[in-house]
Amino acid sequence: MSLPIVRCPQCHKEAEIDAVLTAQSNQNVIFNCPGCGYEARNIETSKG
């Protein structure tokens, strides 16, 4: 199975969700783009 792909809203680079999303212990999720360095917190994830 391949991981879901997430696209950066800023540079539109696509990366596997595991590479750009960091789940915090308090269930916050941080998105960090390896392409442009864009960072977003508490983004909404679409889990089913």
Q: DSSP assignment of 1-28, as one string?
A: -PPPEEE-TTT--EEEHHHHEEE-TTS-
Which residue number, 13 or 30, has a Cβ lying nearer to Zn ion? 13
> What x/- string results for residues 19 through 48 when contact with Zn ion is judged by CB under 5 A?
--------------x-xx-x----------
Q: Token pair for residue 14?
A: 């696509």
Task: Report the nearest approach of Zn ion to the CB of residue 32 (Å).
Answer: 9
Phi, psi values for residue 17, rounded to 5°: -55, -35
Provide the binding-site residues for Zn ion, judged by CB under 5 A.
8, 10-11, 13, 33, 35-36, 38
